[in-house]
Chains A and B, each alone.
Chain A
Amino acid sequence: MNIDLTQLTRREFLTKSSLGAGLVLGAPSILKAKAPDAAADDIRVGFIGCGKQHEVLWNAMVNIPGIRYVAACDIMEKDRLSATYNRVGRAFGNKIAKYTDAEEMLTKEAKNLDAVFVATPDFWHAPHTVMALEAGCHVYCEKMMSETIEGARSMVDAMDRTGKLCQIGHQRRSNPRYQFALNELINKEHICGQIINMNGQWNRALSSSQDIVYGKPANLPDAETLRKYGFNAGANGQLSEQELQHRFLNWRFYTSLSGGPISDLGAHQIDIFNWFMGTQPKSVMASGGRSYFKDREHFDNVMCIFEYDTPFGNARAFYQVLTTTSAGGGYYETFMGTDGTIEISEREAYTNIYKESGADGAKWDNLVRRGLLKKEAVGQAAGGSDAIASYASAPPDKYALPGGLNKPPHQPHIENFFAAIRGEAELTCDARHALESEAPIYWVNPAANSHEIINFTEEHLHA
């Protein structure tokens, strides 16, 4: 499908895209790609966005066979676009076409591309994804889908309209450790009992939350380029080149360019709450503040509580994203039930499973015998003169998942995308299901701003 993309702007894409209706969250994707022309054909891939997240994707896909790299695009020609060009050349010996404009790349290269990877700033996700889908390419787009729910809905609409695949980068959905924990331990063996509470966090130390500064400012895009590509969005008055370049490097701090930490970091984990619960929350309350980084547009620290109605009863999830402390040990999602707790993270080191002292020990021993769990340690009472025995709960035994992932965390999700293109699998996180999971996240910042509970309706959450 060839269309003239050169006349369409990002804003026009959003306003011209119609909104789709929602489906039940958690249902498997019904989307499948058409069979390729020949089974042995390589999948021809292009990149839009060659920054840091692109590198993460590249490192996860470079070992996947059956891919031919064709073209790449980034507005930062030096260092980023050239690095991708060199990277592909070093790994595979072929030269890819280089573009600094995504519309031009798709206009000229769409016929040579089966799939496009979008790893641009959040405010470009929707326009780039819609462009690529309408140009006839399957799309893998990084999360958060868009900085606005309208943008995300336009992606779902474009996916439905074009019949092309659109995988969203919630890579935990394809991670065998997460799939095993959900399917086997929670749903089949019910090791948690009734899950009543969830807890998640992504805490980053100040040292990891500072403004990004680029050592070679001469290699950054100039003011004219950055204005052309919308990095002045939402600004009052004319921005200097230095201010625009700060926005280019630190787009996550600006409300017109991203959803801030709660969407940038929280999206991964709130997605897991919704996926594991198999439903969307019914409300959100939140608090946030510019507590340390007072000049940033987004909150630097956010805490929120989602309430759920599940088939087993009501439940709630607390989530915090803190950019001023690493306290609490990084990032994880915890599912706390009456019989046990699964604390899971993309990092195996942060993953732990605990059995409540009152849970059926014989059942857990049997799970260990069968190979579904590994027992790590028997709970040890802390003791000491400050312990009040009649109030303290008996310590839980500690267990672990029986195995891990032997490849980069993003690789299974990309493999799933390619398998779906070949017609061999269903997407684990197509745009519709991603939006059903992401939709509640769009309402955290408004809830924190208004200090009011938002009770979700179809209007809030529909895809």
Chain B
Amino acid sequence: MSTNENNSIDTLGLSLSMLLLRLWLAARAIQTGIEKFAGTSSESKIVEIDGAANPYGLTEVTVTKAYALSNYHGVPESLYKPFASEPFIPVWGLNLYDKILGPALLILGITLLLGIATRYTLFAMGLLYTSLTYGLILINQSSGVAWLGIHIIMVVLALALAKYNKFTILKKW
């Protein structure tokens, strides 16, 4: 085996690694952004007793998941209140964050998927996950912090592999 062969870099493998990271991070961001518009739609059926509608209003409910613009909630309700009571998070800032989080995830996910300014997109995504991490640190959600830490590692890995980024629309930046 020659020395050249030992030192050669498997560029195909690295390009495919980068592609996989892009796909994973894009899917994660896009679907999370879409889920911000998720809600439920329920169908109630009145319970029949002796063949007639019961007079009490007892119902059987079937709940299905549905998406709509009106369902939008950037910061989940379960987290909004703990964040709002944190002195380091001003309510106006939280409300602004609540508005932009979903669209930001969608835009960053799509640009990453399409390969538009991949490095800046990854950097922005890293900043977004860092901001989420900061909030979770404040409310002592250690498992969430660890989970986002894994995201950051993947973003950093993708940035490190950016040289091998293929299948892009805008390679610059």
A interface residues (Cβ-Cβ under 8 A, vs B): 176-177, 179-180, 183-184, 214-216, 370-372, 401-406, 412
Contact = CB atoms under 8 A, between A and B. Distances in A.
Contact of A404 (B50, B58, B85, B87): B58
B59 A406 contact: yes
Q: Which 10 A-B pairs have the closest CB atoms?
A: A403-B58, A215-B85, A403-B47, A176-B56, A371-B49, A406-B44, A406-B59, A176-B57, A180-B56, A402-B47
B58 A401 contact: yes
B55 to A, nearest CB: 9
B59 A403 contact: yes
A370 B49 contact: yes
Contacts of B85: 214-216
Given A180-B54, A371-B50, A402-B47, A215 B59 contact: no
A401 B58 CA distance: 9
24 contacts: A176-B56, A176-B58, A180-B56, A183-B56, A184-B49, A214-B85, A215-B86, A216-B85, A370-B49, A371-B47, A371-B48, A371-B49, A371-B50, A401-B58, A402-B49, A402-B54, A402-B58, A403-B46, A403-B54, A404-B60, A405-B57, A405-B58, A406-B59, A406-B61
A176 B50 CA distance: 17
Interface string B54-71: 101111110000000000
A405 B59 contact: yes
A215 B82 CA distance: 9
Interface string B10-39: 000000000000000000000000000000
A92 to B, nearest CB: 15
Nearest to B83: A215
Contact of B87 (A176, A179, A216): A216
A180 B87 contact: no
A372 B50 CA distance: 8
B131 interface: no
Interface residue range, chain B: 10 to 19
Tell me the dominant secondary structure on chain B's binding face.
loop
B168 interface: no
B56, B60, B61 interface centre (most CB from chain A within 10 Å): B56
A29 B54 CA distance: 23
A215 B47 contact: no
Contact of A372 (B42, B49, B86): B49
A362 to B, nearest CB: 17
Nearest to B57: A176
Given A215-B86, A216-B87, A180 B58 contact: yes
A184, A215, A412 interface centre (most CB from chain B within 10 Å): A215
Nearest to B63: A406
Contacts of A184: 49
A404 B46 CA distance: 10
Contacts of A179: 56
A183 B58 CA distance: 13
B44 to A, nearest CB: 4
B42 A406 contact: yes
Nearest to A176: B56
Contacts of A216: 85, 87
Nearest to B61: A406
Contacts of A180: 54, 56, 58
A412 B56 CA distance: 11
A287 B50 CA distance: 47
A370 B50 contact: yes
Given A371-B49, A372-B49, 14 more contacts: A176-B56, A177-B56, A180-B56, A184-B49, A216-B87, A370-B50, A371-B54, A401-B58, A402-B49, A403-B54, A403-B59, A404-B58, A404-B60, A405-B57
Contacts of A183: 56
A443 B58 CA distance: 36
